[in-house]
Structure 1
Amino acid sequence: MYTIFRNLSVNALTAPADIDRRIGAVAAKTAGLPPDVLRSWRILAKSVDSRRGAPQLVYTLLAEVEKTSSAARKLEPVPPEMLAQFEAPRLELPETTLLHPLVVGTGPAGIFAALALAMAGTRPVVLDRGPEVEPRFAAVQHFLETRELEESANLLIGEGGAGTFSDGKLYTGTRDGNSGFILNAFAEAGAPAEIRYLKRPHIGSDRLRLVAAGLRKRILDLGGEFRFGVEVTDLLLRDGRCRGVVTASGETIEAPLTLIAAGLGGRELSRRLRERGAACEFKSFQIGCRIEHPQELVDRRQYRLTGSRPEALGAAEYHMVSHPQRAPGVSTFCMCPGGEILNATAWRGRSVTNGMSDYARAGEFANSCLIVTFPPEKFTGPDAAYARLEALEKAVFEQGGCDYTLPAQDAAAFLRRRNGLSSRRTSCRCGIVPGRIDRLLPEELGAGIAAALTHFDRLMPGFIRHGRLIGAETCVSSPLRFLRDPATLESSLAGLYLGGEGAGCAGGIMSAAADGLRLALAMLRRG
């Protein structure tokens, strides 16, 4: 019979590093079962609870036990009809006659749309202005070593989108019925199997490259086609309908239906879509600034440790929010434990920060972005908002010395509005130089961060003393949201579907992937 062990708690300070492999034996012992009675088991959920005393690892397990055991009779069985919910999640695909739809962009929204379309047998054609992930990685390494930026192959542009060089965080506040399918698809493409059950799963930048290639291979095996190095600059409009796209080389590519998920690096394409009549609304968006701390500080504060971090625990994370009365609210965003800060620009002469971590999260430093929301009424329109972002990116570049080095300032010096960078030791491979972040940031962001630093220091003592602010982050979210028909999800231009972060319809890997799936299913029903 099958049973579920819930709230199985293990002291993380004494647990072995491979506790996930041994947790079945712990479950059997807790239930008073002989080890040989447990036929099989798998983890359904795992989280860390460090709210009181020593941090605890908390598990939920689905286990098959020998029904004839007297000890097993005390356990509550899972009815056979309920076991289906624990099987690998499936994607329900409608029947369709659609063939060769076009997908622009290989970030999470584009790639999962392409995957669903390929699974339905439509043989989609997928375009990306950047290269495949392998040459993209080489271009990124070249940039980090030489500061020579390739505008179509960088930390923002290319296969996998901006998320390829990130922490690969897969947790989201968005509730979507296909989340299990997305996690399973990532795991089948090479992501760690544990993403299926961790409360806060992540893939890691080193493994994301393999995952991007794995998803591409699956789509190719299903009959899809990829064309890299193809920049879409316009729509092919005929009789009031989108019939495909026009590329930078002047080539026209026709398609029965077109999906564009250009990401936050596709500002120029978003501008062209507006000019071509795709209806949109100007919405709130975020600007932020990275802050870096020793990971050891975060571990001690979050796990309530007096010594080093135990082997069973990964690098600690945090999420904090500040709601001051006389300054804008601030929240931490895209926290990267044991990670590094990047200059993730896609534009020459402009600097944009971001953060990433490899799977092990073994770096010396932790970083996160402190973000403030800017309402649309602060600007005369979306063009003014984009101009504000670009001006800030240029100012960061210039203050860093015009070679993609990033300006930095100790958090304490920022609060005193003085010069001050106590150390240039950093995770940022582009390096840091003393800067005046207090003068660089927009007034609203600066005021919000000043109030947030004081609040966060109360929650995590040492946040100010050991923190330093680095650069500015301008690719957090889009100032635009393209409008979609509630029933068909088409844009205001027939035959055109717009989605993902660049379209203002998602925020993060999971929500973007889910949005891509929604659009693909809508296209299949339409086709």
Structure 2
Amino acid sequence: MLRLDQIKLTLDEKESDLQEKILKKLKIAKSDLQSFSIYRKNIDARHHQVSYSYSLDVEVVNENAILQRKIKNVRKLVVEPRSELVGGIVELHTRPIIVGFGPAGMFCALQLARQGYKPRVFERGSQVEKRVKDVETFYQTRTLNEESNIQFGEGGAGTFSDGKLTARTKDYRVQDVYDMFVEHGAPKEIVYDAYPHIGSDILIDVVRSIRKEIIALGGSLHFDSKVEKLIIEDDVCKGIVVNTQEICSDVVVLALGNSSRDSFYRFHKQGLLMESKPFAVGLRIEHTQKAINEALYHKYAMHESLPQASYRLTHNVEGCGVYTFCMCPGGQVVAATSNQGHVVVNGMSNYARDKENANAAILVQVDESDYGEGIFKGIEFQEKLERLAYELAGSTYKAPAQRVSDFLEEHSEGEMIEPSYPLGVTYTNLHRLLPESITYKLQEGIRAFQKKNKAFKNGNALLTGVETRSSCPIRICRKETMESSTIKHVYPIGEGSGYSGGITSSAIDGLKCAEVIITKYTNTNISK
């Protein structure tokens, strides 16, 4: 197998033209080309010229002859062999328990189910069908269900996002995650797209399909089932208590979401070792998608073959990172609180990304120097900002908002961007929301972004607050074996345990945990 990099197509060429590009690149006849597939597809928008750039995996008749010619961007593809997943020998008489059904818990459960371990999943939130209705009820009536919302429920917080599958790791499990998603109805292009996304509308169906496979393989899912405590004897976990019922198991996987604050407090009191970790807070910015397309695609902005443009920007202010996060092309800002009397914003897009506005978080890294020392000081800081955002906007779940030029203390003329936040906004001074040091870093970051992306020069763009839930402010300490540092048989995984960020890395952490369980325990005597 050969890997061909930087095979270019103009915007007017089609993927059916790739075969001719391969023949020309390798200088071979059509009969010498056995097959090819797309490994990666990217958009090259450098130097104000826009084209598609492909990496292709190609099988030919005489591979060695081609390699001897040392053609630029042509190399032999070396596939590292993967070791077979072999079940362990320790007897496991009870079905493994998984607490939480976000990406980490979902992929851990799916892998365990496929290997015959019949996991039992307990999710504090509701099944996705009810969850969608609960979110809509909140939008219509401003009555929040604290256990079924954008943070809690089947699929986790990622279900109400863009379904971005960003992966900044070379882990081979990335491909496994993509393949599993496609098997359950995700778009096939996520396997090779450089910036894959599923879209919230499709992700809902994908999550439902994964649930059905787990059940078909002997697993079970229990929704509206918050774990009240762990059953611990002599620093060994024996199971959980949920809805006052004791459920025993030798394996308890904690796949908590990063908003599971009450669970963090509860399990810490029971002896789970935790530590504070840095995270980020900030605001969400909205531009028109048209402006983003023009800034990144230039004269090609209206070309029908191009997807909606997206960006990722970073800057350093006095040693502190300021960066955009969870950029949602053609999307909307959503009301992402899970607590009454709090306002939290996030972003989401459907697969088509066809709404008028683009949005992204602009975040500032924070640590104990910003909010004080102590395991839960970061959570207290989040809650303080969320309550203040609620109060600043009128205590009705509207979000506080401000024109970018006003936030930068500059002048701007023209129409302000129409906000997409579903519960409405209250225009106010966001300097009153955030600490002075964070406000300053956001200002400096935005000014730096104005030099990198001309859409940011529009002072009429809109800032909405507050974004606090991009990552978890605590970490549940674990060993290299993924087992808790202090309580045996407990396996903290995923974003809420402080070991991942985003759908893909959380899913990978879930797969790793499943592998640890499978290679340690045998499934031959698992009870029904």
Question: What is the TM-score when the length of structure 1 is the normalising length?
Answer: 0.90
Counterpart secondary structure, 2:46 = coil
Contact 2:123 2:224 in 1 (8 A): yes
> Which has the higher mean CA deviation after the structures are superposed, 106-115 or 132-141?
132-141
1:273 to 263, 267, 278: 267
- Describe how 1:407-422 pairs up with structure 2 within 5 A: 407-416=400-409, 422=415
Cα distance between partner residues in 1 of 2:499 and 2:473: 11
Q: Does the 8 Å CA contact 2:128/2:155 hold for their aligned counterparts? A: yes
Aligned counterpart, 1:148: 143
Deviation at 1:148, TM superposition (A): 1.9
- Give the aligned partner of residue 500 of structure 1: 494
**Is 1:119–2:114 an aligned residue pair?**
yes
Query: Which segment is superposed worse, 24-33 or 373-382?
Result: 24-33
Mapped pair 1:309 → 2:302: yes
**CA distance in structure 1 between the aligned counterparts of 2:504 and 2:475, rounded to whole angstroms:** 18
Cα distance 1:405–1:86, how it changes in 2: closer, same or farther (>3 A)? farther
Aligned length: 510
The residue type equivalent to 1:406 in the other structure is: A
**CA 482–33 in structure 1, closer or farther in 2 if over 3 Å, else same:** same
Do structure 1's residue 285 and structure 2's residue 276 form an aligned pair? no
What runs of 5+ residues in structure 2 fail to find an aligned partner?
69-75, 522-528
Question: Matches of 1:287 and 1:115 in 2, distance apart?
Answer: 33
For 2:465, what is the secondary structure of its paired residue?
strand
Shift of 1:34: 6.5
8 A contact 1:419–1:434 mirrored in 2: no
Equivalent-residue separation in structure 2 for 1:355 and 1:481 (angstroms): 24
Q: Check 1:238–1:83 CA distance in 2 against 1; reply closer, same or farther (3 A cut).
A: same
1:445 aligns to 2:438 (yes or no): yes
Label 1:492 to 1:447 Cα distance change in 2 as closer, same or farther (>3 A): same
Kindly provide the CA deviation profile for residues 160-185 of structure 1, in whole angstroms up to 9, marking residues without a partner as x.
00000111111222332311111111
Change in CA separation of 1:174 and 1:489 when aligned onto 2, cut-off 3 Å: farther
| Greater mean alpha carbon deviation, residues 278-287 or residues 38-47 | 38-47
Give the whole-Å Cα distance in 1 for the aligned partners of 2:2 and 2:408. 55
Q: Map Cα deviations across residues 278-327 of structure 1 (whole Å, 9 max, x no partner).
A: 11111212112111111112111122x135432222111111111133x8
Q: How does 1:162-201 map to 2 (within 5 A)?
A: 162-201=157-196
1:357 counterpart residue number = 349
Q: Which residue does 2:36 correspond to in 1?
A: 41
Q: Distance in 2 between matches of 1:337 and 1:118?
A: 35
Alpha carbon RMSD of aligned pairs, Å?
2.6
Instruction: After TM superposition, give the deviation of residue 402 of structure 1 in Å.
Output: 2.1
CA distance in 1, matches of 2:411, 2:48: 39
Which 10-residue stretch deviates more, 468-477 or 426-435?
Answer: 426-435
- Pairwise CA distance, 1:462: 3.8
> How far apart are the structure 1 equivalents of 2:5 and 2:512?
33
1:240 maps onto 2:232 in alignment:
no
In 1, Cα distance between equivalents of 2:283 and 2:512: 32
C-alpha change, 1:390 and 1:21, in structure 2 (3 Å) is farther
Instruction: Give the drift of 1:74.
Output: 7.0
Q: Give 1:403 deviation, angstroms.
A: 2.2
Higher deviation after alignment, 193-202 or 397-406: 397-406
Shift of 1:268: 0.5
- Pairing of 1:53-132 with structure 2 (within 5 A): 53-64=48-59, 67=61, 75-76=66-67, 85=79, 92-95=85-88, 97-98=91-92, 99-132=94-127
Distance 1:4 1:33 in 2: 15
**Matched letter for residue 51 of structure 2:** Q
- SS of the equivalent of 1:167 reads coil
Equivalent residues in 2 for 1:242-391, closer than 5 Å: 242-247=237-242, 249-303=243-297, 305-306=298-299, 308-325=301-318, 328-378=320-370, 379-391=372-384
1:165 and 1:216, CA in 2 relative to 1: closer, same or farther beyond 3 A? same
Taking the aligned partners of 1:403 and 1:421, their CA distance within structure 2 comes to 29
1:211 matched residue in structure 2: 206
Q: Deviations over 1:234-280 (max 9, x none)?
A: 11112321111112x31111111100111112110011111111111
Once the two structures are TM-superposed, the CA of residue 414 in structure 1 deviates from its matched residue by: 0.4
Q: 8 Å contact 1:129–1:157 — kept in the other structure?
A: yes
Once residues 488 and 413 of structure 2 are traced to their aligned partners in structure 1, the CA distance between those partners, rounded to angstroms, is: 55
8 A Cα contact 2:150 2:338, kept in partner: yes
Indicate whether 1:511 and 2:511 are aligned: no
In 2, distance between residues paired with 1:196 and 1:207?
Answer: 16
